């Protein structure tokens, strides 16, 4: 019998790609989309139908629903979260409810229902501005936004179930993932979508920070590799490329690849509060390679080309409000 796996947050950017990846590996996938009265499944609506895919709608903030969701599941990939940093300044309580309480609900339900592996999703934002590079898993955690603080709390809650109950938790900590379907609140789709829509000027926040950008299929491969690695149980593991590039240089690369002469203008409303900006992220990915043999396959130019090709398809671009600042 094919093992059934669960993906929470499957209606989102990474979650929808992870769902497709797991289906390609032959798994039976139960995919959670956030309940809404329109029966909208987010990005799951755009993937190919598959007999091994079952979509559930619900909310990880409800512990009774999480118990139902985790029945008859072998592995849980817990990606459901609020992730926008600017919105976390306005609505920090929501981030605790979804990210911390939601993780508690899921890990408790998974343990109660006899799940054999629990892959919890962290974020490189928990490291804050790098104190040294590349950043390995021993780097101090620095909560520079309510979002980051909520993810630090969620990570700790998940890992406490390994420490207290010997429940098989792994914390997957991806660095900056990009690719098709990403929200326009992120810098790469913001630029690509606006250039594709004919913009001559693009408003941006600070472009001096550096990031370790990872194409989404590589991030998904990292998740799947960790779920198959018993040595990763009880561990926190970075998923990244070990390649650092500034946001400015990334934007210039996109501009060149799209043949655009667009001008970039700094917009004060897009700047983070002074002590909240994370100025440097560069992943040390030695641990995941040593544990699983994982290496990224898609370099930055290849990944940007795939992303540009997807966004310049009119049916895809039509799903984005390119003229509105998306917090």
55 has pLDDT over 80: yes
Model pLDDT, residue 115: 98
77 has pLDDT over 80: yes
Yes or no: say if 189 and 215 are a contact pair by the CB < 8 Å rule: no
| Token duo for residue 122 | 């962290």
Mean per-residue pLDDT, 95-119: 98
Model pLDDT, residue 275: 87
Mean per-residue pLDDT, 33-62: 97
125 has pLDDT over 70: yes
Q: What share of the chain is helix, strand, coil (3-state, %, to 5)?
A: 40, 15, 40
The per-residue pLDDT of the chain, averaged, comes to 95
Yes or no: say if 76 and 34 are a contact pair by the CB < 8 Å rule: no
> Structural domains in the chain?
4-177+214-239 (3.40.50.720), 182-211+243-317 (3.90.25.10)
b/e map of 158-168 (b: 16 or more CB within 10 Å)? bbebbeeeebb
pLDDT digits (tens, 9 = 90+) for 267-279: 776 777 878 899 9
pLDDT digits (tens, 9 = 90+) for 153-196: 999 999 999 999 999 999 999 999 999 999 988 999 999 999 99
DSSP letters for 236-265 = EEEE--S--EEHHHHHHHHHHHTT--PEEE
Report the C-alpha gap between 276 and 142 in whole angstroms. 10
60 has pLDDT over 90: yes
pLDDT digits (tens, 9 = 90+) for 206-233: 899 999 999 999 999 999 999 999 999 9
Three-state helix/strand/coil letters over 161-208 = HHHHHCCCEEEEEECCEECCCCCCCCHHHHHHHHHHCCCCEEEECCCC
Specify the pTM. Answer: 0.97
The CA distances from residue 293 to 124, 179, 261, in Å, are: 21, 23, 41
pLDDT digits (tens, 9 = 90+) for 247-272: 999 999 999 999 999 998 887 767 77
| Token duo for residue 230 | 């018993």
Mean per-residue pLDDT, 6-34: 98
Name which of 274, 320, 327 is nearest 91 in CA terms: 327
Report the C-alpha gap between 122 and 159 in whole angstroms. 11
Beta strand spans in the chain (E): 4-8, 28-34, 53-58, 75-78, 117-121, 169-174, 177-178, 201-204, 210-211, 214-215, 236-239, 245-246, 263-266
Model pLDDT, residue 327: 65
Task: Please give the share of the chain, as a percent, with pLDDT higher than 90.
Answer: 90
């Amino acid at each position: 019998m094919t093992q059934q796996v669960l993906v929470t947050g499957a209606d989102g950017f990474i979650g929808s790609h992870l769902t497709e990846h797991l289906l390609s590996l032959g798994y039976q996938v139960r995919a959670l989309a956030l309940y809404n009265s329109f029966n909208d499944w987010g990005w799951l609506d755009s993937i190919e139908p598959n007999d091994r895919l079952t979509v559930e709608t619900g909310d990880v903030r409800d512990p009774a629903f999480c118990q139902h969701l985790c029945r008859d599941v072998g592995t849980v990939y817990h990606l459901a979260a609020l992730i926008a940093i600017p919105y976390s300044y306005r609505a920090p309580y929501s981030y605790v409810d979804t990210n911390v309480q939601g993780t508690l609900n899921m890990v408790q339900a998974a343990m109660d229902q006899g799940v054999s592996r629990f892959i919890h999703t962290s974020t490189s934002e928990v490291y804050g501005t790098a104190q040294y590079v590349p950043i390995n898993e021993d780097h101090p955690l620095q909560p520079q936004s309510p979002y980051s603080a909520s993810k630090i709390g969620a990570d700790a809650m998940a890992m406490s179930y390994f420490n207290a109950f010997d429940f098989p938790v792994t914390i997957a900590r991806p660095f900056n993932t990009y690719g098709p379907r990403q929200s326009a609140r992120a810098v790469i789709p913001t630029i690509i979508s606006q250039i594709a829509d004919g913009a001559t000027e693009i408003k941006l926040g600070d472009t001096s920070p550096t990031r370790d950008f990872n194409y989404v299929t590589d991030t998904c491969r990292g998740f799947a590799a960790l779920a198959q690695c018993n040595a990763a149980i009880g561990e926190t593991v970075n998923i990244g490329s070990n390649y650092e590039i500034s946001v400015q240089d990334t934007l210039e690369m996109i501009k060149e690849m799209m043949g655009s002469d667009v001008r970039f203008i700094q917009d004060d409303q897009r700047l983070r509060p002074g002590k909240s900006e994370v100025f440097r992220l560069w992943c040390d990915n030695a641990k995941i390679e040593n544990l699983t043999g994982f290496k990224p396959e898609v370099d930055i130019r290849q990944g940007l080309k795939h992303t540009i090709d997807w966004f310049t398809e009119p049916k895809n671009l039509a799903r984005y409000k390119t003229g509105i600042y998306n917090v």
